[in-house]
Amino acid sequence: MLEIHDMREHLWINPQHTWEDYRKRRSLSDIKLIVVHDTENNINDIKIANELEIKNTALHPMGLPRIRFHYWINEAGEVYLCNDLENVTWHSHLADKKSLAVALVGDYDKQEPKKENLKILEVLLNKLITELNLSRKNVFGHGELKLYLNFTRCPGKNLIKYVKQYRKIGRMV
């Protein structure tokens, strides 16, 4: 059983705005893709990671409403739910409206993902594709979505290979 820490009521929200100020809530059936990201850092405390994202003004001068990811997994393998799945967050440009963001903490150009965390990611992806009526073929690494104008190294060369393997055979490890 996968333990998921539901942080939706507990994370600090940017008082300036919420996701709904920008994009209407969607229904779950609008979700067609699951996008895997890394965080390019080693911040493993969800509250600190959230505040940093809000203060990161690169994406918006007033800061993000809150952390971009729907699901966030730290290096200890703890899984956190950070946003309603119906919230359209900013994480994959033109694919935002139809996709869900799952992030693994770390920089996977520089480090290797831990086997145990790949397993946790796999179990989470399995759960999500079942609940959302998708298939493993709907799971992509962020930088693979070039069609939606995502030109990024995310989620890193050491993680993307497992995402591709998952899409192919439904397993990461």
Residues that bind Zn ion (CB under 5 A): 37, 142, 154
Alpha carbons 105 and 97: distance in angstroms, whole number: 23
Residue (10 or 162) nearer to Zn ion, CB? 162
Residue (103 or 172) nearer to Zn ion, CB? 103
Residue (10 or 157) nearer to Zn ion, CB? 157
Q: How far is the CB of 77 from Zn ion (least distance, A)?
A: 20
Q: How far is the CB of 16 from Zn ion (least distance, A)?
A: 23
Residue (10 or 59) nearer to Zn ion, CB? 59
Q: How far is the CB of 9 from Zn ion (least distance, A)?
A: 25
Alpha carbons 59 and 90: distance in angstroms, whole number: 9
- Spell out where 16-152 has E strands: 33-38, 71-73, 79-81, 99-104, 139-141
Q: How far is the CB of 153 from Zn ion (least distance, A)?
A: 9
Q: What 8-state DSSP symbol labels residue 134?
A: -
- Pull the structure tokens for residue 76: 């200890």
**How many other C-beta atoms are found inside a 10 Å radius of the C-beta of residue 2?**
9
- Pull the structure tokens for residue 33: 């893709």
